[in-house]
Amino acid sequence: MRAVLVNARESLVEERRRLGIDKLDECWEGEWHFVNPPKLWHPRLNSDMFLVLAPIAKGLGLASWCEATGVFADVENNWRIPDQIYARPDQEIEEGLIGAELVVEVRSPDDDSYAKLPFYAARGITEAMVVHRDRRFELYRLDDDKTYQPVEDGRCSVLGVTFATVDGPKLRITWNDGSAEV
């Protein structure tokens, strides 16, 4: 079931905040998107990837976040919350981020991962990645026309790593000094 709540009562938003279940909620140009907590495999895959990628990002001078940090076009009415974000310090604001170099969406069945891509492109985010439970992935890079194009070889230019789906299934992440499988 998919539901998008427009004109949410402030009491509903406050109740979700009070219960601590609002951390993944998004606002799409004034429309509230309430997101349920993911199944256990989702944060496990997300965390495993993050533990590999965050040190690489830090070595490149990028800050990294795993869940519950927003990318904002407008702090009152328009933001998305990717599963992972890799950004320059100048892209930070008090509420979260106004842009990023790379965002990662771990896709749950029937979620809005693909629908978020135009928002990320409009924010100038260099690369976006969608990862599935079976470790299949799509990596996209922003072109000169501000649209995402698939990166066929799995090479992430932002982090200098290469992604590949291998037997297991696992996601293999390779970089100059090593590799990991998650």
Concatenate the DSSP letters of all residues of 68-104 into one string. Answer: S--EEEETTTEEE--SEEEE-GGGEETTEES--SEEE
Task: Provide the CATH number for the domain around residue 119.
Answer: 3.90.1570.10
Partners of residue 178 on adjacent β-strands: 175
Write out the residue range of the structural domain in which residue 54 sits: 38-181
**Residue 35: other Cβ atoms inside 10 A:** 15
Does residue 16 lie within any of the structural domains? Answer: no
Does residue 21 lie within any of the structural domains? Answer: no
Render the burial of 95-112: b for 16+ CB within 10 Å, e for the rest: ebbbbbbbbbbbbbeebb
**Class of residue 161 by CB neighbours under 10 A (exposed 0-12, middle 13-18, buried 19+):** buried
Q: Which two tokens stand for residue 168?
A: 């297991």
Does residue 28 lie within any of the structural domains? Answer: no
- As a whole number of angstroms, the distance between CA 129 and CA 154 comes to 10
Q: Which two tokens stand for residue 66?
A: 């795993």
How much is the pLDDT for 147?
97
Per-residue pLDDT of the chain in tens (182 residues, 90 and over written 9): 455 555 667 787 788 878 877 777 888 998 888 887 789 999 999 999 999 999 999 999 999 999 789 999 999 999 999 999 999 999 999 999 999 999 999 999 889 999 999 999 999 999 999 999 999 999 999 999 999 999 999 999 999 999 999 999 999 999 999 999 99
Residue keyed to tokens 């979700």: 16
Does residue 93 lie within any of the structural domains? Answer: yes
How much is the pLDDT for 122?
97
How much is the pLDDT for 1?
42
Does residue 140 lie within any of the structural domains? Answer: yes
- Report which DSSP code applies to 51: H
How much is the pLDDT for 16?
80
Give the count of domains, the chain: 1
Closest CA to 130 of 82, 97, 58: 82
- Report which DSSP code applies to 126: S
- Helix H or strand E segment including 164: strand 161-166
Does residue 22 lie within any of the structural domains? Answer: no
Task: Look at strands 127-132 and 102-107 and give their pairing.
Answer: parallel
**Residue 114: other Cβ atoms inside 10 A:** 12
Does residue 31 lie within any of the structural domains? Answer: no
Does residue 7 lie within any of the structural domains? Answer: no
